[in-house]
Chains A and B, each alone.
Chain A
Amino acid sequence: MTNSLRLRLTLSCALAIAMLLAILGCTLYFSLSEAFLSRFELSLRSRAAVLISFLDWNRRGTVHFNGGADAHGLHTALAIPRRYEIWTLHGRPLLVAPDLKNYPMIFTHSLNMAGQFIRLNLANRQPALEFIVSAVRGDEDDGDGQDHKHDHHDGHQDGHKDKPRRVGDPKQATRKGRHAAKENRPDNPKRRHFILAVARSTGELDASLDSLQWSLIIACSTATIVSAFIIWWLLGRGLRPVGRIAEEITRVGADDLSDRISNDHVPIELIPIVDRLNQLLGRIDDAMRREKAMTADIAHELRTPLASMRASAELALTRPREPEEYQRIIGEFLAVELQMQHMVENFLTLARLEARPSAASEQHQCNVAKMIRRCIEESQPLLKIRNIHLESDLIDSPAINVPEELLRIVLRNVFENAIHYVDANGSIRTNIRWQPPYAIFEIANSGCRITKDQAQMVFDRFWRGDTARAELTEHSGLGLSIVRQAVNNFGGKVEVEAELDGWFVLRLYLPIDPLNS
């Protein structure tokens, strides 16, 4: 199926309309053809009645019309049908219309009271409908009008209920055959049973139905096609706002992302889409801004030490200097290089963590308490030098489902951060507790100088809580960004809090089992 919404909607609507019209057309056609046919049958019955009323028997037992010898003139004058045939109950022809000499009609014994309609072909293969009925003529009042009326009624199958004797169904007909033989005897000359068939060409009827059928087909097709065009046109008009929105989006993308798609003249159905697009634009804009800010940060973080290295090297070369001075300059150069190397390493770690898909789907077994103890051991020399008191409350725990490598990065960075920012002679507290679905590791250091608002910025790349940037230090301002990214990667979370009494608290929510949580 095509991707054009307009075409799809048009085709669907046109199909629905076509089906509706087809059902309507068929219903119309069948009811009309039923009506035509029943009118046709009615007319055959009345012709039969007329015919019967004019029948007469002479003494020899032959049948003729009582209108006179001129049958032809009689046909015309009395509208007697020209296609008829009369039989005795045994099928012996009594009278055949002159037109039918070579095309005798179909005779049947199996007649019900109301008569029967049979389709047949007349001369020239003309389709026709035959009405065959058994009838009785002559009773107490032979030839009088009332009798005609009875026959007429028979023909109309109206009064057959109160005159069952006169017209028989097939069985009755055979049973009555014996009766009739008795009744046809000379002692009851007035009662004559016979079978009469009248036929009429259905050519006209068929032609009318044909033309009705074609009219309906043409009308329905035309209506479908016209409505398809109208729907196409209406959809074109209706979908115009979509085109306008596309233009707006092009405009917004071309200039800058701070622009938003305007909601004016947008149909209400499309407003949610426009709103979502605007939200998306907002998020992209934010991301782009962050990227830009980060590029600037990286430029600063890398170019400043580079500038420093270049300046110190050039300074050393401007004039001959004392060996001590060269040593000092080279020492400084090396320190700057080490800081830069550390920064680059951290930055690469962060970039790798960001590029790596979430590792939450894998299974790991990681003893967090053991790893924390190892971190504390590794930090001991530094803690001793700075005279920092470390207090830890670590319960032994079952293994948690966190990749060990990531957890090591996280723990190393949170310890480095705490040791970097703790005040001299201050203290660091750590503890771990279980609160399914998380194991919560908390590390707090005294000497916090940042405010509650600043605390939320600690995860920003290159943000530093002090003027560390100014000094030669291995603190790159990326540590907590790395922590957050790594923790996100294994499905945990991290939060910080700057307390009023100078404690900086960092809480790691490590998923015990991310698959079951």
Chain B
Amino acid sequence: MRILLVEDFKPLRKSIAQALHESGYVVDEAGDGRTAIWSLNGGYTDLVLLDVMLPGIDGFGVLKAIRSMPNAPLILMLTAKDTVDDRVAGLDAGADDYLVKPFALEELLARVRALIRRRYRVDSSIIKLGPLKMDLNARRVYREDNQAEVPLSASEYAIFEYMALRKGHVVSRSDIWDHTHGGNSAPESNVVDVFIGLLRKKIDAAAGIRMIHTRRGLGYVLAEVE
């Protein structure tokens, strides 16, 4: 999942970025409103963590710009303003959630997970995938019957999580790359295919059925049946 973090105070931005990165998210960083809006142009950001007081265009300006975008990401506002009026103003302006500084990192991560689930319309943090289950909080995949965990690397898990959240939908290679890897560079021609090949071997073996299917010319789809 790809998150844009907009915060002008560098030490705070670095800490949050590291925490998110360690939780398996792809994090883009912006120190002011203009950079933030520019970073969103790709349209593959899932969530924006937005500070209100920013140099240049402030948080509300960024929020307005985001709301006018197609497939707009969800927005979690991070702010030092804590009065009810401020919260109401933030939520009314179109923020999806509101967190007052200073906050516990754990709470921030929980809210990020909740917003990601909301973005992909998933009710629970456990996703059922045929005989397999995926725990979004613990970031693991296991067999439902004997709890046997499917060993996945961080990159493999990130790709599988994205496919699981978009279960039943065809996802293109660039979708997979943009949501699971940083940078604005185009993926190497077959990097995604290599990861998918590795993933398919592990998943299909654990599930006992084919779950990752190729749609020629379109991409891949995760489904329990062909």
In the assembled complex, the CB of B84 is this many whole angstroms from the nearest CB of chain A, namely 14
Q: Which of the listed residues A296, A305, A311, A312 has the most CB atoms from chain B within 10 Å of its own CB?
A: A311
Question: How far does the alpha carbon of A314 sit from the alpha carbon of B14 in the complex, in Å?
Answer: 13
Question: How far does the alpha carbon of A304 sit from the alpha carbon of B106 in the complex, in Å?
Answer: 17
Question: How far does the alpha carbon of A205 sit from the alpha carbon of B11 in the complex, in Å?
Answer: 111
Tell me if A31 is interfacial: C-beta within 8 Å of chain B. no
Contact assessment for A312 and B10 in the assembled complex, using a CB-CB cutoff below 8 Å = no
Q: Which of B29-57 contact A (CB under 8 A)?
A: 31-32, 51, 53, 55
Contact of A304 (CB < 8 Å), options: B22, B31, B101, B104: B101
Chain B interface residue bracket vs A: 20 to 34
In the complex formed, the residue of A with least CB distance to B78 is A307
In the assembled complex, the CB of B218 is this many whole angstroms from the nearest CB of chain A, namely 39
Q: Which of A277-331 contact B (CB under 8 A)?
A: 296, 299-312, 314-315, 318-319
Q: Which of the listed residues B16, B32, B102, B106 has the most CB atoms from chain A within 10 Å of its own CB?
A: B102
Annotate B1-32 by CB proximity to A: 1 below 8 A, 0 otherwise. Answer: 00000001111101110110010000000011
Binds B, one of A19-27, A81-89, A469-477, A500-508: A469-477
Neighbouring B residues of A310 by C-beta, 8 Å? 102-105
Contact assessment for A303 and B11 in the assembled complex, using a CB-CB cutoff below 8 Å = no
Contact assessment for A470 and B102 in the assembled complex, using a CB-CB cutoff below 8 Å = no
Question: How far does the alpha carbon of A396 sit from the alpha carbon of B55 in the complex, in Å?
Answer: 43
In the complex formed, the residue of A with least CB distance to B15 is A311
| A470 in contact with B9 given A300-B81, A314-B104, A315-B105 (CB within 8 Å) | yes
Q: Which of the listed residues B12, B55, B82 has the most CB atoms from chain A within 10 Å of its own CB?
A: B12
Neighbouring B residues of A300 by C-beta, 8 Å? 53, 79-81
Contact assessment for B55 and A303 in the assembled complex, using a CB-CB cutoff below 8 Å = no
Question: How far does the alpha carbon of A301 sit from the alpha carbon of B105 in the complex, in Å?
Answer: 19
Neighbouring B residues of A467 by C-beta, 8 Å? 8, 31-32, 55
In the complex formed, the residue of B with least CB distance to A300 is B80
Contact assessment for B14 and A470 in the assembled complex, using a CB-CB cutoff below 8 Å = no
Tell me if A332 is interfacial: C-beta within 8 Å of chain B. yes
Contact of B80 (CB < 8 Å), options: A299, A311, A319: A299
In the complex formed, the residue of B with least CB distance to A464 is B55
In the complex formed, the residue of A with least CB distance to B106 is A314
Question: How far does the alpha carbon of A246 sit from the alpha carbon of B199 in the complex, in Å?
Answer: 78
Contact assessment for A318 and B19 in the assembled complex, using a CB-CB cutoff below 8 Å = yes
Contact assessment for A469 and B9 in the assembled complex, using a CB-CB cutoff below 8 Å = yes
In the assembled complex, the CB of B51 is this many whole angstroms from the nearest CB of chain A, namely 8
Annotate B76-94 by CB proximity to A: 1 below 8 A, 0 otherwise. Answer: 0011111000000000000
Contact assessment for B103 and A307 in the assembled complex, using a CB-CB cutoff below 8 Å = yes
Question: How far does the alpha carbon of A469 sit from the alpha carbon of B11 in the complex, in Å?
Answer: 11
In the assembled complex, the CB of B85 is this many whole angstroms from the nearest CB of chain A, namely 10
Question: How far does the alpha carbon of A299 sit from the alpha carbon of B101 in the complex, in Å?
Answer: 9
Tell me if A336 is interfacial: C-beta within 8 Å of chain B. yes
Question: How far does the alpha carbon of A471 sit from the alpha carbon of B10 in the complex, in Å?
Answer: 6
Contact of B102 (CB < 8 Å), options: A301, A303, A335: A303
Neighbouring A residues of B106 by C-beta, 8 Å? 314
Question: How far does the alpha carbon of A302 sit from the alpha carbon of B79 in the complex, in Å?
Answer: 12
Contact of A472 (CB < 8 Å), options: B11, B16, B22: B11
In the assembled complex, the CB of B77 is this many whole angstroms from the nearest CB of chain A, namely 13
Neighbouring B residues of A336 by C-beta, 8 Å? 11
Contact of A318 (CB < 8 Å), options: B14, B22, B81, B82: B22
Q: Would you list 25 pairs from A and B whose C-beta atoms are within 8 A, ordered by A residue? A: A296-B53, A299-B80, A300-B53, A300-B80, A303-B101, A304-B9, A304-B51, A305-B12, A307-B103, A308-B11, A308-B12, A315-B15, A315-B22, A318-B105, A332-B15, A335-B11, A336-B11, A467-B8, A467-B31, A469-B8, A469-B55, A470-B31, A470-B32, A471-B10, A472-B10
What is the interface of chain B, defined by CB distance below 8 A to chain A? 8-12, 14-16, 18-19, 22, 31-32, 51, 53, 55, 78-82, 100-106
Top 3 A-B pairs ranked by shortest CB distance?
A308-B12, A307-B102, A307-B101
Add 14 more A-B contacts to A306-B101, A308-B12, A314-B104 (CB < 8 A).
A296-B80, A296-B81, A300-B79, A300-B81, A302-B80, A304-B9, A311-B15, A314-B19, A314-B105, A315-B15, A332-B11, A335-B11, A336-B11, A470-B10
